[in-house]
Structure 1
Amino acid sequence: MAVETSGPDLLSVVVLLGAGVVAVPLFKRLGLGSILGYLAAGVVIGPFGLKFFSDPETILHVAELGVVMFLFIIGLEMQPSRLWGLRKDIFGLGALQVGVCALLLTGVGIATGFPVAHSFVAGAGFVLTSTAIVMQLLEERGETATPQGQRMVSILLLEDLAIVPLLAIVAFLAPMSVEAAGGMHWVPIGIGMGAIVGLVLAGKYLLNPLFGFLAQSRAREVMTAAALLVVLGSALLMQVSGLSMAMGAFLAGVLLSESTFRHQLEADIEPFRGILLGLFFLAVGMSLDLSVVAANWKTVIFYVIAFKVVKATGIYAVARLLKSSNREAIERAVIMAQGGEFAFVLYATATAVGILDGQANAILTAVIIFSMFLTPLLLVALRFLMPEEKQDLEAVEVAEGLSGNVLIIGFGRFGQISCQPLLLRGVDISIIDNDVEMIQAASQFGFKVYYGDGTRLDILHAAGAGRAQAVLICVDKAETILSIANLLKSEFPLVQIYARAYDRGNTIELIKIGVDYQMRETFESALIFGENTLVGLGVDRREAADVIEDVRRRDAERLDLQVAGGIRAGIDLMKGNAPVPGPLIKPRRAGQVINPEVAGVQPPQNADAN
């Protein structure tokens, strides 16, 4: 029975939800993951399965909407400052992997007898890894914030950005008559670039005033509707400009990521994230044309295997060239050796301009979908062949129902010392950590530490963050510190947040977030170290203490300058390019100025990074 989906249809919604509810738990129980469950369910209910859905155009629109909304959520988490921090991986590692894999995959097409244009389009489509699948896999494995995960995220960002020049290249490769070749290709490129610039300018100067005006209405649903309007409007702008709707949604998310309303938008949209992802994967499964696969099964199988093997080889070679470990290189190759959702956009464009015909488009689309199907299966096989060292949680209690007045997140060397004054004063504390060995070692010394990941909202609720008077962030990774602080500030605005900072840059970010107190992990110990060095050199202890207090005061002044006027101002002050009230350090003898630049010693460029 076919279900018409051109208008609101309750049966269509029930079929979609029912397919996911049945398939996903079954596939997860089998150890195959939720992604494969959604894909398989889409095949079963699609036009080439039980035919609950029969309109391919509607299926395509559903799939595109899923990608659009998903990339908006990704963009919302990618502040420009974070993108700038990943610039080396994005434009170094990402560009190298895309370039190498594009050349290798194009070579596969040429070696099997296809023209250069056809080979390039087919290979370029397979280069564009599925952002949705990789991000979902990283999230399920808890690796999104790890260095390995961040490198994959950087590559995905470069691949998402690459759709713009790839669409331009497809326009250049399109068959044209000599009369039409007089510069007409520059028109769509100019329109596309103009749309991107216009969207960025509108986002920078209009979005905050817009949401500020709407916030005055105090109607939460209006804010959510406005967010959706921005997303879909940006996607529409990119579409009418000849670019990808998903790119417009991603840019809108990035522009809103610096908005003061970002956390509200995240809280409103987050509940729909899993549903939208599931909807996308269901639509991908429904898009698989089994009749084309049956008629060309040898071709489909050959190119699925050839493209995956060649792309995996290129990914592994690039990873090892840039000093990644063997295991990380293999995992990256297995996870990213697949095509992605942007390939559908690229192949559709190539078909529209005459590079590909309808059958070639259908075959290549089937190759992409089968590569998506195989990725979770290959990851299961990799775990079987190269098992990870699993942490034994049997002797560890998971954080649940905790109610201490103070919650400590992280029980390493910093957290262990920080908790001692609280314990001596009889403060009721709860402690969580995600290192099982640390938890077991702490128990031998009488500390009760619960297992829990502080970057997860559900764990924070279970650990009593909402009931605590104060939360101490004592973890050691800068990005994890910021992630926890952001989450606490947005979800538990009344709780006091005390944060360990990794370095000066981390300190500035924490101040901007609005934590109640932050402390660089080595700052005070280094000052005491320097003070005792002065005493050892013959300086009077009281005078040494005055010098250290002066350093502490000047450091606080520099920090205020950097927060208020940007890091550049603080660096200029350090290098003497800005007025400094008095000498850098009080001299021991009158008239003696202890200043590195006066002494002819240039401070290192990262002198203000600690």
Structure 2
Amino acid sequence: MENFLYQASIYLAAAVIAVPLSARLGLGSVLGYLAAGIIIGPVLGLVGAETENLQHVAEFGVVMMLFLIGLELEPRALWDMRDKLLGLGGMQVGVSTLALMVAAMLAGHPWSVSLAVGLTLSLSSTAIVLQTLSEKGLIQTNGGRATFSVLLTQDIAVIPILAFLPLLAMQTGAHIESDGSIDRGTGHGADAAHHSLSLVEGLPGWAVTLVTIGAVAFVILAGIYLTRPLFRFIHATRLREMYTALALMIVVGISFLMTLVGLSPALGAFLAGVVLASSEFRHELESDLEPFKGLLLGLFFITVGAGINFGFFFQEPLDLIGLALLVIVAKGAILYVIGRAFKLNRRDHWLFTLGLAQAGEFGFVLLAFSVQQNVIPTDLSQKLLLIIALTMLITPLLFILYDILSRNMKDSAPEQVADEIDEKGPVIIAGIGRFGQIVNRLVRATGFKTIVLDHDIDTIQLMRRFGVKGFLGDPTRPELLKAAGVDKAQVLVAAMDQRDEVTKLVAYARRIRPDLHIIARAADRNHVYELYQAGASDIVRETFDSSLRAGRYVLENIGLSEYEAAAAEKTFYHHDRDTVRELAELWIPGTPTAENKAYIERAQELEKDLETALLELAEEHAKKSA
């Protein structure tokens, strides 16, 4: 017990110190976890042999992650991904395996060993890549979805690879016993495989297939028909922890079942997640499992770092680093070509290329299995383990390189020719997203004509289906504004999504039309100050009015009358409007608010004025009621 508490303290302390520091430096949490493992393992020697056992437990974090990803994908969405799964994923695994196999053969290894090496190194790190994509909010981009498709294909590919590797053992001189077992010189023969539970061991091929299909069918049917009654039963107990227990039971049980039939637990968990994606309990499952997933994934990365054999590494560091870089460059080149073939745009193309260039955690599993099956020699396995770990350590740096490239590039999109504007109106609305649509509907419904401008052709076409004529073009371009009649318009509404474009449009319109009334959409309070300085007449914060209305509802339901709540809302509105105008004069662009002493002091004074005004309003209502 004491040893367990000591080890737990070491792992938790390393994570708490290294991960926030890494995140603050912009390196991401994954690199922080890996660094923590290296420090407490090879550097300080605070942890030892238990890391291998912990890694088997921590790998369950990958299983949970795939289950949660499956919850986000309905079966129809997965079917829509079939081209990417077969095309992107299939090409990546096949071509990478072939290229790495050739490289291993050139290094002097037999073709069977080289093929096993190629299969092992062709897989990328599901844990690191998906965790990083989620942190950076990239998983819903085209590049993120393409990357996820390849990772999912790789996870599926692990199953046939595990089935195929024992066949390669026959090429390495292993002796086949008369009963069909393979004797690898260990003295155990076929009995070595009888220590693990299995539903398919010893069955003929057709029976294995039937049992496997039956297990998959059971997972699907149980997800459809058994989860609802189970959740209702748990709900009747009114014990919150039972929800968590049920969520864990679902993932653990499915993973165990998949293991019994020789399938990947991660694949089974993903399948269960897809089945439950349309369930009303999806969000409950997500909230219950998310903390476990995060902790187990973090523990997995720490054990990877702690398990690196630096003694072996320092014997030939340049050779190992060079081989790790060779794997990344080779896979990156293949991914780059595949991305071009599937016409990914520049930003998504580089995310796809750099995000999948490493080897992955399933490589550890395949290496252990290959050594057990006498496919890959032990000394080569030790070197490959270090190469895989090094590529995983380099991966966060590849994402940093992607961030640098992404900031300095613009996606190549087909040039859209701006429409010829043949109408004029008193109101010009620049940007017809959710914000601009409501403004446009209200103004048009009142009987006034609007000129709608937007640079997104899909949005313009959608509006035209509803009978609203809009014009395609960039609202910040002077010639387009002139064609829209900005010289004679009464009101300009800057309602674009991009805050910099809104500010640019306001500044230009104010410069050419000092008398024009400009209403601008602001993203936040700092943007309000920018727009005031740019010359906006009225500024509407995206969430201010809706938040104010929500606050009024709160007041109505804690004792105030509708009249009193409306009066308090009105007082707050006018005070905030005056406050923003006054603070805009004290706001200094580029200076953090916390360092602007005059701004902070005046904001505190104005907040006290608001409290006084609301108290006086409450006293006035009390006197009238008396």
- Whether the TM-score (by the shorter chain) exceeds 0.5 is yes
Q: What is the CA–CA distance in structure 2 between the aligned matches of 1:463 and 1:174, rounded to whole Å?
A: 68
Kindly tell me: are residues 195 and 130 of structure 1, through their superposed partners in 2, closer, same or farther at Cα, counting changes over 3 Å? Answer: same
Q: How many Å apart are 1:197 and its aligned residue?
A: 3.7
CA contact (8 A) 2:47 2:306 kept: no
Residue 177, structure 1, aligned to residue 250, structure 2: no
Q: How many Å apart are 1:370 and its aligned residue?
A: 0.5
Q: What is the CA–CA distance in structure 1 between the aligned matches of 2:506 and 2:277, rounded to whole Å?
A: 41
Q: What is the CA–CA distance in structure 1 between the aligned matches of 2:48 and 2:495, rounded to whole Å?
A: 48
CA contact (8 A) 1:131 1:340 kept: yes
Q: What is the CA–CA distance in structure 1 between the aligned matches of 2:247 and 2:351, rounded to whole Å?
A: 36
Structure 1 segment 96-115 matched on structure 2, within 5 A: 96-115=91-110
Q: What is the CA–CA distance in structure 2 between the aligned matches of 1:357 and 1:432, rounded to whole Å?
A: 64
Q: What is the CA–CA distance in structure 2 between the aligned matches of 1:425 and 1:323, rounded to whole Å?
A: 43
CA contact (8 A) 1:77 1:257 kept: yes
Which has the larger helix fraction?
2
Kindly tell me: are residues 438 and 274 of structure 1, through their superposed partners in 2, closer, same or farther at Cα, counting changes over 3 Å? Answer: farther
1:314 to 312, 325, 334: 334
Residue deviations 1:582-604 (CA, integer Å, cap 9, x gap): xxxxxxxxxxxxxxxxxxxxxxx
CA contact (8 A) 2:14 2:40 kept: yes
* Secondary structure class of the residue paired with 1:448: strand
Q: What is the CA–CA distance in structure 1 between the aligned matches of 2:392 and 2:505, rounded to whole Å?
A: 43
Question: Aligned residue for 1:366?
Answer: 386
Kindly tell me: are residues 285 and 412 of structure 1, through their superposed partners in 2, closer, same or farther at Cα, counting changes over 3 Å? Answer: farther
CA contact (8 A) 1:288 1:369 kept: yes
Kindly tell me: are residues 365 and 440 of structure 1, through their superposed partners in 2, closer, same or farther at Cα, counting changes over 3 Å? Answer: same
* Secondary structure class of the residue paired with 1:202: helix
Residue 300, structure 1, aligned to residue 320, structure 2: yes
Residue deviations 1:432-479 (CA, integer Å, cap 9, x gap): 986234543676631333169xxxxxxxx9879888669xxxxxxxxx
Kindly tell me: are residues 337 and 422 of structure 1, through their superposed partners in 2, closer, same or farther at Cα, counting changes over 3 Å? Answer: same
* Secondary structure class of the residue paired with 1:174: helix
Indicate the larger mover: 181-190 or 68-77: 181-190
When normalised by structure 1's length, the TM-score is 0.64
Question: Aligned residue for 2:371?
Answer: 351
* Secondary structure class of the residue paired with 1:446: strand
Residue deviations 1:418-437 (CA, integer Å, cap 9, x gap): 235569999xxxx9986234
Question: Aligned residue for 2:499?
Answer: 436
* Secondary structure class of the residue paired with 2:244: helix
* Secondary structure class of the residue paired with 1:216: helix
Kindly tell me: are residues 13 and 412 of structure 1, through their superposed partners in 2, closer, same or farther at Cα, counting changes over 3 Å? Answer: farther
Residue deviations 1:559-602 (CA, integer Å, cap 9, x gap): xxxxxxxxxxxxxxxxxxxxxxxxxxxxxxxxxxxxxxxxxxxx
Gaps of 5+ in 1: 391-409, 453-460, 471-610
CA contact (8 A) 1:167 1:243 kept: no
Residue 247, structure 1, aligned to residue 267, structure 2: yes
Q: How many Å apart are 1:411 and its aligned residue?
A: 6.2
Question: Aligned residue for 1:287?
Answer: 307
1:446 to 513, 519, 522: 519
Residue 43, structure 1, aligned to residue 38, structure 2: yes
Kindly tell me: are residues 44 and 257 of structure 1, through their superposed partners in 2, closer, same or farther at Cα, counting changes over 3 Å? Answer: same
Question: Aligned residue for 2:613?
Answer: none
> What is the letter of the counterpart of residue 387 of structure 2?
V
CA contact (8 A) 1:312 1:336 kept: yes
Q: How many Å apart are 1:384 and its aligned residue?
A: 4.3
Residue deviations 1:190-238 (CA, integer Å, cap 9, x gap): 6555533433333333223322332333333212210100111111222
Q: What is the CA–CA distance in structure 2 between the aligned matches of 1:65 and 1:117, rounded to whole Å?
A: 31
Q: How many Å apart are 1:325 and its aligned residue?
A: 3.3
1:58 to 47, 53, 59: 53
2:236 to 201, 216, 222: 216
Q: What is the CA–CA distance in structure 1 between the aligned matches of 2:125 and 2:71, rounded to whole Å?
A: 18
Question: Aligned residue for 1:592?
Answer: none
Residue deviations 1:402-428 (CA, integer Å, cap 9, x gap): xxxxxxxx96445303235569999xx
1:164 to 159, 165, 176: 159
2:131 to 113, 130, 136: 136
Residue deviations 1:35-67 (CA, integer Å, cap 9, x gap): 111101011112664223432432222331222
Identity of aligned residues (%): 36
Q: What is the CA–CA distance in structure 1 between the aligned matches of 2:296 and 2:432, rounded to whole Å?
A: 38
Kindly tell me: are residues 116 and 197 of structure 1, through their superposed partners in 2, closer, same or farther at Cα, counting changes over 3 Å? Answer: farther
Question: Aligned residue for 1:237?
Answer: 257
> What is the letter of the counterpart of residue 98 of structure 2?
L
Q: What is the CA–CA distance in structure 2 between the aligned matches of 1:192 and 1:466, rounded to whole Å?
A: 53
CA contact (8 A) 1:334 1:379 kept: yes
* Secondary structure class of the residue paired with 2:519: coil
Gaps of 5+ in 2: 182-201, 411-429, 447-493, 508-517, 526-541, 552-626
CA contact (8 A) 2:19 2:32 kept: yes
Q: What is the CA–CA distance in structure 1 between the aligned matches of 2:546 and 2:204, rounded to whole Å?
A: 57
Residue deviations 1:126-182 (CA, integer Å, cap 9, x gap): 221111211222223322111221111111111111111111112332335174559
Residue deviations 1:265-315 (CA, integer Å, cap 9, x gap): 122333444333322211221222223323453552342122111111111
Q: What is the CA–CA distance in structure 2 between the aligned matches of 1:296 and 1:463, rounded to whole Å?
A: 61
Indicate the larger mover: 315-324 or 169-178: 169-178
* Secondary structure class of the residue paired with 1:447: strand
CA contact (8 A) 1:108 1:307 kept: no
C-alpha root-mean-square deviation of aligned residues, in Å?
A: 3.6
Q: What is the CA–CA distance in structure 1 between the aligned matches of 2:358 and 2:284, rounded to whole Å?
A: 34
CA contact (8 A) 2:62 2:126 kept: no
User: How many correspondences in the alignment?
Assistant: 436
* Secondary structure class of the residue paired with 1:46: helix
Residue 32, structure 1, aligned to residue 27, structure 2: yes
Q: Name the larger-Rg structure.
A: 2
> What is the letter of the counterpart of residue 519 of structure 2?
G
Q: What is the CA–CA distance in structure 1 between the aligned matches of 2:388 and 2:524, rounded to whole Å?
A: 40
Kindly tell me: are residues 447 and 299 of structure 1, through their superposed partners in 2, closer, same or farther at Cα, counting changes over 3 Å? Answer: same
Indicate the larger mover: 50-59 or 226-235: 50-59
Kindly tell me: are residues 413 and 190 of structure 1, through their superposed partners in 2, closer, same or farther at Cα, counting changes over 3 Å? Answer: closer
CA contact (8 A) 1:71 1:250 kept: yes
Question: Aligned residue for 2:438?
Answer: 418
Q: What is the CA–CA distance in structure 2 between the aligned matches of 1:132 and 1:312, rounded to whole Å?
A: 18
